[in-house]
């Protein structure tokens, strides 16, 4: 283990956190994330001199989305520490009981949804805010108000804040996914993603139609009770939906027995749970135990193991993605898994099939990676009866029948035919996806329908669909309203910032982050198209392989013609974000401390970030500037001990105005 691994893990986990909390699109299983997280914790303990307040081990979540007003939580919404075994649970409790002796715990189902904070003033519901990054969340009041079980008024006149989980019941999840299939939209992967996606709808009517619900499980600084359990009972008396399965225990063995019984019956519940939360019941002990920078010391989450089921592989087939990647998949005998029917599972690549010796007609164990994507864990070789058929990876694309190739140093095979229908359809669907051009109503199934009917063959064709009204309305399951909604979404997409278009183009090696970096640097598409490989390589975080891929893409005549076509259709080609100004603070780490007169802490932070600085919450030898106001304390003292440059607020203002 090395420092290089520490830095690599921080970068990886930050990306995985972003995918899970902000995009609601986790790409790795929870168990894999947890293992990497623990590895990082161990490495950080080995190298305390490399402490970084921006590490995921120091934060509860990730960035909030930009579509909603941002709100600072009165008290941080922290996440929970996790345990995965009886031994770890016992160890957690032993540390507490060593101090306090035998104590009482409250055990609660860990609802798999979206963490939410509700605020009531003078008995009226006034605001709902997501967890966000734990410090700052999204104001989603208009959508949360549509949840019928949430009281709009309560018989309590003082300020009242309560936290819980907004979730989508299993029946509502199945109904919503059926509707999305009918409308040619991509299905939600699981109820948690569906709940998060619904809450983030700008149109509250959509959120209202989704059948969301909520359980409430924590009242910060509750003055109406001496224990957590009594606080929940009081919340129930005010009209809040509190889970009926909360239990009090004074013995960890009894809690573990309750956990095992719950695991057995979890899939009979009308909602999804992924663990059990155990909390110290008495508030005075909670207060004494306190918090780390990321989690409360008085609570822990016992995470359930992923569910695994047996089924049979009926066939193995290849799907082709937008980059031409050929992915093997298993056709399964349908089986129920975590509340949904599973008929297919990914096999990843040829090497995995060989390594696990997976064959057609094998009995296999299947689970959902990250509770989302079904995957084959292993085959049960001892149950083979002679009918099993080893799989031979094809040498031609199953869609266009062109030869496929395995690239050097990669496990995947690729179809390199740019006109392959599968690449075209998935590429257009990616272009229209939420993280790219955000054209609602143009999911992969609908793109495929339009492709088969000859009206959508290229990215540019999207912007001529308004001229195909008669053809579209003649298609099955298409009505005037859905046609008009699609046309409106396409028209609105023309206003997107340059980075959305750049990401949508699907340039190899260019993801969301690189798209934002390039757009901020070049400001418009023409500047980027004219950039040399050397100029691209000189941009921070853009490596040589990526630079060459960008250069090759924009020096292809057909791609340049496509960009010109976009211009004629009225698409925005400029970066609409705020370009960071060059200053003495560019690429410097700054810490704010004390009370500032001319700025709030958030205003000063945003100003520094606009000047290219990284704002940290703690002082270390890597800090470049500490900017302080009145009543500055230990951070200023530490800066002076470490010989870090310090600036008064007045000195800071003079520098930025010079």
What residues act catalytically? 110
Q: DSSP string spanning 354-365?
A: HHHT-EET-EEE
* Contact of 168 with 24, CB cutoff 8 Å: no
Close Cβ partners of 523 (under 8 Å, ≥ 6 residues apart):
498, 574, 575, 579
Quote the tokens at residue 86: 């009886």
* Contact of 117 with 77, CB cutoff 8 Å: yes
Local structure of 445: helix, strand or coil? helix
Close Cβ partners of 133 (under 8 Å, ≥ 6 residues apart):
21, 59, 60, 61, 62, 63, 64
Alpha carbons within 13 angstroms on the beta-carbon side of residue 499 total 17
Q: What region does 76 belong to: left with phi over 0, alpha with psi -120 to 50, or beta?
A: beta
Q: What one-character DSSP code corresponds to residue 314?
A: E
89 forms beta bridges with none
Q: What one-character DSSP code corresponds to residue 433?
A: S
Quote the tokens at residue 38: 């623990």
Nearest to 31 by CA among 280, 371, 400, 344: 371
Q: How far apart are CA 442 and CA 384, in angstroms?
A: 44
Quote the tokens at residue 189: 């992967």
Q: DSSP string spanning 42-98?
A: HHHHH-GGG--TTSGGG-SS-PPPSSS-EEE-SS------EE-SHHHHHHHHHHHHH
Helix (H) / strand (E) containing 432: helix 421-432
Residue 335 has phi, psi (to 5 degrees) of -145, 150
Close Cβ partners of 86 (under 8 Å, ≥ 6 residues apart):
256
Q: What one-character DSSP code corresponds to residue 578?
A: P
Q: DSSP string spanning 153-221?
A: B-S--S-EEEEEEEE--HHHHHHHHHHHHHTTPPPPSSHHHHHHHHHT-SSHHHHHTTT-EEEEEE-TT
Instruction: List C-alpha distances in Å: 436 to 432, 445, 463, 499.
Output: 6, 17, 15, 8
Residue with tokens 């864990």: 377
Helix axes of 3-17 and 30-46: crossing angle, nearest 10 degrees: 140
* Contact of 402 with 365, CB cutoff 8 Å: no
Helix (H) / strand (E) containing 247: strand 247-249
Please work out, in degrees rounded to the nearest 5, the angle formed at the alpha carbon of residue 364 by the alpha carbons of 362 and 369: 140
Q: What one-character DSSP code corresponds to residue 658?
A: -
Local structure of 380: helix, strand or coil? coil
């Amino acid at each position: 283990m090395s420092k290089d691994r520490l830095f690599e893990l921080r970068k990886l986990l930050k990306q995985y956190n972003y995918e899970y909390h902000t995009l609601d699109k986790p790409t790795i299983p929870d168990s894999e994330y947890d293992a990497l997280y623990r590895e990082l914790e161990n490495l950080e303990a080995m190298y305390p001199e490399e402490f970084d307040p921006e590490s995921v081990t120091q934060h509860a979540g990730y960035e909030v989305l930009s579509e909603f007003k941002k709100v600072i939580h009165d008290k941080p919404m922290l996440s929970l520490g996790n345990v995965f075994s009886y031994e770890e649970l016992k160890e957690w409790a032993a540390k507490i009981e060593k101090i306090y002796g035998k104590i009482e715990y409250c055990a609660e189902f860990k609802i798999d949804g979206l963490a939410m904070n509700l605020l009531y003033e003078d008995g009226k519901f006034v605001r709902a805010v997501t967890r966000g990054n734990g410090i700052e969340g999204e104001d989603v009041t208009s959508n949360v108000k549509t949840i019928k079980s949430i009281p709009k008024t309560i018989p309590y006149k003082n300020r009242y804040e309560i936290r819980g989980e907004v979730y989508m019941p299993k029946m509502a999840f199945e109904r919503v996914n059926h509707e999305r299939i009918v409308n040619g939209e991509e299905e939600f992967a699981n109820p948690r993603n569906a709940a998060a996606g619904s809450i983030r709808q700008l149109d509250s009517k959509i959120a209202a139609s989704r059948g969301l619900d909520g359980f409430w499980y924590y009242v910060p600084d509750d003055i109406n009770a001496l224990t957590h359990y009594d606080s929940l009972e009081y919340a129930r008396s005010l009209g809040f939906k509190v889970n009926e399965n909360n239990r009090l225990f004074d013995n960890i063995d009894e809690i573990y027995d309750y956990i095992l019984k719950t695991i057995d019956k979890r899939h009979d519940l009308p909602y999804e749970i992924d663990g059990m939360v155990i909390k110290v019941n008495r508030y005075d002990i909670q207060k004494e135990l306190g918090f780390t920078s990321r989690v409360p010391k008085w609570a822990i989450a016992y995470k359930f193991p992923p569910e695994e089921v047996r089924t049979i592989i009926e066939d193995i087939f290849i799907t082709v993605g937008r980059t031409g990647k050929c992915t093997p998949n298993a056709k399964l005998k349908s089986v129920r898994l975590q509340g949904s029917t599973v008929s297919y599972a990914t096999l990843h690549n040829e090497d995995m099939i060989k390594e696990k010796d997976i064959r057609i007609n094998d009995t296999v164990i299947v689970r959902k990676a990250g509770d989302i994507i079904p995957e084959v864990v292993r085959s049960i070789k001892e149950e083979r009866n002679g009918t099993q058929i080893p799989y031979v990876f094809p040498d031609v694309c199953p869609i266009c029948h062109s030869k496929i190739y395995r690239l050097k140093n990669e496990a995947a095979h690729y179809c390199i035919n740019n006109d392959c229908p599968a690449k075209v359809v998935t590429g257009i669907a990616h272009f229209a996806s939420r993280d790219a051009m955000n054209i609602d109503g143009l999911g992969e199934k609908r793109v495929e329908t339009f492709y088969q009917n000859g009206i959508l063959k290229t990215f540019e064709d999207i912007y001529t669909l308004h001229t195909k009204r008669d053809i579209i309305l003649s298609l099955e399951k298409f009505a005037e309203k859905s046609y008009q909604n699609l046309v409106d979404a396409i028209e609105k997409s023309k206003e997107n910032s340059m980075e959305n278009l750049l990401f949508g183009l699907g340039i190899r090696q260019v993801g969301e982050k690189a798209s934002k970096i390039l757009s901020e640097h070049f400001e418009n598409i023409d500047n980027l198209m004219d950039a040399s490989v050397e100029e691209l390589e000189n941009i921070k975080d853009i490596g040589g392989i990526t630079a060459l891929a960008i250069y090759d893409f924009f020096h292809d005549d057909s791609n340049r013609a496509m960009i010109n076509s976009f211009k004629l259709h009225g698409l925005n080609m400029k970066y609409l974000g705020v370009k960071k100004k060059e200053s003495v603070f560019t690429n410097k780490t700054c810490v704010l401390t004390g009370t500032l007169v001319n700025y709030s802490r958030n205003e000063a932070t945003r100003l520094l970030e606009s000047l290219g600085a990284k704002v940290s919450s703690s002082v270390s030898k890597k800090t470049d500037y500490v900017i302080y106001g009145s009543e500055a304390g230990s951070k200023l003292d530490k800066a002076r001990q470490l010989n870090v440059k310090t600036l008064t607020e007045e000195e800071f203002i003079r520098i930025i105005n010079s």
